[in-house]
Structure 1
Amino acid sequence: MSFTRVDEKRIGAMLAGMTLEEKVSLCHAWSKFSVAPLPRLGIPELVMSDGPHGVREELVRDGWMTANRDDDYVTYLPTGTALAATWNRAMARLHGSILGEEARGRGKDVILGPGVNIMRTPLCGRNFEYLGEDPYLAAELAVPEIEGIQAHDVAACVKHFALNNQELDRTRVDVEVDERALREIYLPAFEAAVCRAQVLTIMGAYNRFRGEHCCHNRLLLQEILKDQWGFRGLVVSDWNGTHDTDQAARNGLDVEMGTGAASYDQYYLAGPFLEGLRQGRYEEALVDDKARRVLRVMMAAGVFDAARRKGAFATEEHFRGSRRIAEEAMVLLKNEGGVLPFDAATIRTLAVVGWNAGVRHAQGGGSSGVKTAREVTPLEGLQELLGDAVAIRYVRGYPAQATAHELIPNQCLDAVDGSGTGGWAFEVFDNAALTGPARQTGSMQAVDLSWPAGRMPLGLATGRTSLRLTATVTLPEDGPYELAFTGADRFTVFVDGQKKIGLWEFGEGSLTETVTLDGKRGDRHTIEIHFVPLNGLAGAFRVAWLTPSADRSACGDPFAEAVAAAREADAVIFVGGLNHRDDAEGRDRSDLKLLYDQDRLIEALAAANAKLAVFLVGGSPVEMPWADRVPAIVQAWYAGSEGGRALADVAFGRVNPSGKLPCTFPKRLADTPAATVGQYQAGSCRYNEGLFVGYRWYDRRGIEPLFAFGHGLSYTTFQYGPLTVRPGRGDVAAEAELAVRNTGARAGAEVVQLYVGRTAAGRVERPVRELKGFEKVFLDPGQQATVRFRLSRRDVSFWDTEAGDWATEPGDYVLSVGSSSRDLRQQCRIVLD
Structure 2
Amino acid sequence: RDEWGFDGAVISDWGGSNDRVESIKAGGDLEMPSCKYGVDEIVKAVKEGKLEESAVDKCVERVLTLIERTTKGESTGKFDVEAHHALALKCAEESVVLLENNGVLPLKEGVKVAIIGDYVDSPRYQGAGSSIVNPTKLDKINDIVKDYSLNIVGMEKGFNRYGKKNDGLKNKAVKLAEKADVAILFMGLDEVTEAEGLDREHIGFPENQISLFRAVRVVCPNVVIVLSCGSAVEIEWAKDADALVYGCLGGQAGARAQLDIITGKVNPSGKLTETFPVKYETCPTAAYFPGEKLTAEYREGLYIGYRYYDTVGVKVSYPFGYGLSYTKFEYSNLKVDDKGVTLTVKNVGEVAGKEAVQLYIGKENGEIFRPKKELKGFKKVALNPGEEKEVYIPFDDKSFRYFNVKTNKFEIEEGTYQIYIGASVEDIRLTGELFVKGTGAPNPYKKEDLPSYYTGKITHVSDEEFEKLIGRPIPQSEYAFYKKNRMVIDENSTVSDLRYAPGWTGRLFSSLMRFAVWFMKAIGNRTMANTLVMGVIHQPVRGLAKFSGMGRNKLDGLLTMFNGHFFKGVGLFFKSEEDSEKEAKKQNKEQLEAEKKAEAENKEIK
TM-score (norm 2): 0.68
CA–CA distance in structure 1, aligned partners of residues 393 and 312 of structure 2 = 29
CA–CA distance in structure 2, aligned partners of residues 744 and 768 of structure 1 = 32
Q: How many percent of aligned residue pairs carry the same amino acid?
A: 33
Paired residue for 1:329, among 77, 83, 95? 95
CA–CA distance in structure 1, aligned partners of residues 379 and 163 of structure 2 = 45
Indicate the residue corresponding to 1:252 in structure 2. Answer: 27
Classify 1:677/1:342 alpha carbon distance in 2 versus 1 (closer, same or farther; 3 Å). farther
RMSD (Å), alpha carbons: 2.4
- Asked if 1:344 corresponds to 2:109, the answer is yes
Paired residue for 2:45, among 276, 279, 284? 276
State how 1:20-169 maps to structure 2 within 5 Å: none
CA–CA distance in structure 2, aligned partners of residues 771 and 672 of structure 1 = 19
Indicate the residue corresponding to 1:832 in structure 2. Answer: 436
Paired residue for 1:713, among 304, 307, 324? 324
- Asked if 1:815 corresponds to 2:419, the answer is yes
SS in 2 for 1:686: coil
State how 1:269-418 maps to structure 2 within 5 Å: 270-299=39-68, 301=69, 303=71, 310=76, 312-313=78-79, 315-336=81-102, 338-345=103-110, 347=111, 349-361=112-124, 365-372=128-135, 374-386=137-149, 390-399=151-160
Larger strand proportion, structure 1 or 2? 1
SS in 1 for 2:367: coil
CA–CA distance in structure 1, aligned partners of residues 22 and 131 of structure 2 = 28
8 A Cα contact 1:817 1:824, kept in partner: yes
In terms of mean alpha carbon deviation, does 283-292 or 613-622 score higher? Answer: 283-292
8 A Cα contact 2:419 2:433, kept in partner: yes
- Asked if 1:741 corresponds to 2:516, the answer is no
What do residues 206-262 of structure 1 show as CA deviations (whole Å, max 9, x unaligned)?
xxxxxxxxxxxxxxxxxxxx4654543222122222343432343332212215x5x
CA–CA distance in structure 1, aligned partners of residues 255 and 397 of structure 2 = 43
SS in 2 for 1:792: coil
1:370 corresponds to which letter in structure 2?
Answer: V
CA–CA distance in structure 2, aligned partners of residues 594 and 811 of structure 1 = 45
CA–CA distance in structure 1, aligned partners of residues 167 and 63 of structure 2 = 61
Indicate the residue corresponding to 1:801 in structure 2. Answer: 405
8 A Cα contact 2:128 2:196, kept in partner: yes
Indicate the residue corresponding to 1:765 in structure 2. Answer: 369
8 A Cα contact 2:101 2:243, kept in partner: yes
8 A Cα contact 2:127 2:196, kept in partner: no
CA–CA distance in structure 1, aligned partners of residues 199 and 126 of structure 2 = 18
2:394 corresponds to which letter in structure 1?
Answer: R
8 A Cα contact 1:599 1:626, kept in partner: yes
SS in 2 for 1:277: helix
1:718 corresponds to which letter in structure 2?
Answer: F
1:376 corresponds to which letter in structure 2?
Answer: D
What do residues 35-61 of structure 1 show as CA deviations (whole Å, max 9, x unaligned)?
xxxxxxxxxxxxxxxxxxxxxxxxxxx
Paired residue for 2:189, among 564, 575, 578? 578
CA–CA distance in structure 2, aligned partners of residues 789 and 368 of structure 1 = 34
Classify 1:673/1:295 alpha carbon distance in 2 versus 1 (closer, same or farther; 3 Å). same
Post-superposition shift, 1:607? 2.7
CA–CA distance in structure 1, aligned partners of residues 134 and 288 of structure 2 = 32
Post-superposition shift, 1:654? 0.8
In terms of mean alpha carbon deviation, does 598-607 or 566-575 score higher? Answer: 598-607
- Asked if 1:654 corresponds to 2:265, the answer is yes
What do residues 271-309 of structure 1 show as CA deviations (whole Å, max 9, x unaligned)?
33223323434322221222222234345x175x6x777
SS in 2 for 1:321: helix
8 A Cα contact 1:379 1:644, kept in partner: no
CA–CA distance in structure 2, aligned partners of residues 619 and 579 of structure 1 = 10
8 A Cα contact 2:24 2:59, kept in partner: no
Indicate the residue corresponding to 2:396 in structure 1. Answer: 792
SS in 2 for 1:775: strand
Indicate the residue corresponding to 1:779 in structure 2. Answer: 383
What do residues 509-561 of structure 1 show as CA deviations (whole Å, max 9, x unaligned)?
8x7958xxxxxxxxxxxxxxxxxxxxxxxxxxxxxxxxxxxxxxxx9622222
Post-superposition shift, 1:825? 0.8
SS in 2 for 1:795: coil
Indicate the residue corresponding to 2:250 in structure 1. Answer: 639
CA–CA distance in structure 2, aligned partners of residues 602 and 513 of structure 1 = 15
8 A Cα contact 1:665 1:707, kept in partner: yes
CA–CA distance in structure 2, aligned partners of residues 370 and 230 of structure 1 = 30
2:151 corresponds to which letter in structure 1?
Answer: V
CA–CA distance in structure 1, aligned partners of residues 90 and 288 of structure 2 = 37
Post-superposition shift, 1:684? 1.1
Post-superposition shift, 1:622? 0.9
What do residues 683-722 of structure 1 show as CA deviations (whole Å, max 9, x unaligned)?
3111111011110010122101100100000001111113
CA–CA distance in structure 2, aligned partners of residues 312 and 676 of structure 1 = 53
1:624 corresponds to which letter in structure 2?
Answer: I
Classify 1:312/1:691 alpha carbon distance in 2 versus 1 (closer, same or farther; 3 Å). farther
Classify 1:829/1:513 alpha carbon distance in 2 versus 1 (closer, same or farther; 3 Å). closer
8 A Cα contact 1:736 1:790, kept in partner: yes
How many residue pairs are counted as aligned between the two chains?
A: 437
In terms of mean alpha carbon deviation, does 773-782 or 562-571 score higher? Answer: 562-571
Indicate the residue corresponding to 1:700 in structure 2. Answer: 311
8 A Cα contact 1:602 1:626, kept in partner: no
Classify 1:792/1:236 alpha carbon distance in 2 versus 1 (closer, same or farther; 3 Å). closer
SS in 2 for 1:821: coil
8 A Cα contact 1:590 1:676, kept in partner: no
8 A Cα contact 1:739 1:786, kept in partner: yes
- Asked if 1:628 corresponds to 2:239, the answer is yes
8 A Cα contact 1:340 1:652, kept in partner: yes
Indicate the residue corresponding to 2:355 in structure 1. Answer: 750
Indicate the residue corresponding to 2:11 in structure 1. Answer: 236
CA–CA distance in structure 1, aligned partners of residues 402 and 54 of structure 2 = 37
CA–CA distance in structure 2, aligned partners of residues 311 and 806 of structure 1 = 45
8 A Cα contact 1:599 1:625, kept in partner: no
In terms of mean alpha carbon deviation, does 677-686 or 816-825 score higher? Answer: 677-686
CA–CA distance in structure 2, aligned partners of residues 289 and 610 of structure 1 = 67
Post-superposition shift, 1:736? 1.4
SS in 1 for 2:114: strand
1:287 corresponds to which letter in structure 2?
Answer: V
8 A Cα contact 2:319 2:426, kept in partner: yes
Post-superposition shift, 1:380? 2.8
Classify 1:258/1:314 alpha carbon distance in 2 versus 1 (closer, same or farther; 3 Å). farther
CA–CA distance in structure 1, aligned partners of residues 255 and 181 of structure 2 = 21
Post-superposition shift, 1:378? 2.6
Indicate the residue corresponding to 2:212 in structure 1. Answer: 601
CA–CA distance in structure 1, aligned partners of residues 369 and 127 of structure 2 = 42
CA–CA distance in structure 1, aligned partners of residues 362 and 241 of structure 2 = 35
Post-superposition shift, 1:628? 3.2
SS in 1 for 2:402: strand
Classify 1:373/1:577 alpha carbon distance in 2 versus 1 (closer, same or farther; 3 Å). same
2:84 corresponds to which letter in structure 1?
Answer: H
Classify 1:561/1:572 alpha carbon distance in 2 versus 1 (closer, same or farther; 3 Å). same
SS in 1 for 2:434: strand
8 A Cα contact 2:123 2:255, kept in partner: no
1:334 corresponds to which letter in structure 2?
Answer: E
Post-superposition shift, 1:676? 6.6
Post-superposition shift, 1:314? 6.3
SS in 1 for 2:59: helix
